[in-house]
Amino acid sequence: TAGECLEGVSRAMFKFNHVLDKAIFKPVAKGYRALPTPIRKGTGNAVDNLRSLLTFSNNVLQGEFGRAGNTAARFGINTTAGILGIFDPAAKLGFEDQGKEDFGQTMAVWGTNSGCYFVLPVLGPTTTRDAVGLIGNVFIDPVYQITHNTEISNGVVGNGNYSEHNYYYYRTTGAVDFRAKNIESFDSLEENSIDLYASLKSLYLQNRKQKIANSTSSVETQD
């Protein structure tokens, strides 16, 4: 279990994030929720489809080649038959979503200890290992490489239209989609927690432990 690092600082950062959420993120998420359900579902699917490229990279780094093949098949099918990932025909063909992987999980599989728990501005709860993993994610994410590497971008689309800002559009859309899906969950947690900071810390650490163990059903419940 991760120990606490600078709890006073983390609690102050948590309060800052909480204020920011109420002032900006939650209202934006509510606006997004006003969009028709098919649009939101298609947007979420498309973002998840791009995110699967990062999962593929980590599948390979973890030596999970069966999962890597499943992830690659899902991406190929959903990008083509699913119209850039808006739809999910891969699931109907037997290629089920097996969960997201990130570099923090990969480091755990490699034997790296979690280190201590703390809270980052905007990004929220993390551990030493997961904070390093956030940096690693950027460099092994094919979407980042395509949008930030001019030669790759030109090779992919022929005229360099995959510019850097597209990566941040994709990440921001994913964050808004996640927040919109969890409005009620966050509200319920806030209303029923004696200590919201401690509750979110506990949930975060349990969630990460289950994801590292590839305990998909438990992760879905935690989410």
Question: In the structure, what pLDDT confidence band is assigned to residue 151 with cuts at 50, 70 and 90?
Answer: low
Backbone phi, psi, residue 116, to 5°: -95, 160
Q: What is the pLDDT of residue 156?
A: 57
What's the token pair of residue 124? 């929220």
- Residues 186/188/192/196 CA torsion (nearest 10 deg): 0
The CA–CA distances, whole Å, from 212 to 106, 174, 184, 203 equal 8, 21, 26, 14
What's the token pair of residue 219? 């992760």
| Residue 146 · residue 152 · CB < 8 Å | yes
Q: What is the DSSP string of 13-30?
A: HHHHHHHHIIIIIHHHHH
Question: In the structure, what pLDDT confidence band is assigned to residue 153 with cuts at 50, 70 and 90?
Answer: low
Q: What is the pLDDT of residue 128?
A: 96
Name residue, tokens 């920011």.
Answer: 20
The CA–CA distances, whole Å, from 51 to 111, 120, 124, 190 equal 24, 22, 19, 29
- Condensed to tens digits (0 to 9), the pLDDT of residues 94-105 reads 999 999 999 999
- Condensed to tens digits (0 to 9), the pLDDT of residues 33-74 reads 999 999 999 999 999 999 999 999 999 999 999 999 999 999
Sorted by sequence, the CB contacts under 8 Å of residue 28 that are 6+ apart come out as 176, 179
pLDDT at residue 13 tops 70: yes
Q: What is the pLDDT of residue 218?
A: 47
Question: In the structure, what pLDDT confidence band is assigned to residue 219 with cuts at 50, 70 and 90?
Answer: very low
- Condensed to tens digits (0 to 9), the pLDDT of residues 75-85 reads 999 999 999 99
What's the token pair of residue 199? 């509750």
pTM greater than the 0.85 cutoff = yes
- Condensed to tens digits (0 to 9), the pLDDT of residues 163-218 reads 788 888 999 999 999 999 999 999 999 999 999 999 999 999 999 999 999 865 44
Q: What is the DSSP string of the chain?
A: ---BSSHHHHHHHHHHHHHHIIIIIHHHHHHHHTS-HHHHHHHHHHHHHHHHHHHHHHHHHTT-HHHHHHHHHHHHHHHHTTTTTTS-HHHHTT--------HHHHHHHTT-----EEEETTTEEEEHHHHHHHHHHHHH-HHHHHHH-HHHHHHHHSS----HHHHHHHHHHHHHHHHHHTHHHHHHHHHH-SSHHHHHHHHHHHHHHHHHTT-HHHHHHH-
- Compare 71 and 222 and report the one with higher pLDDT: 71
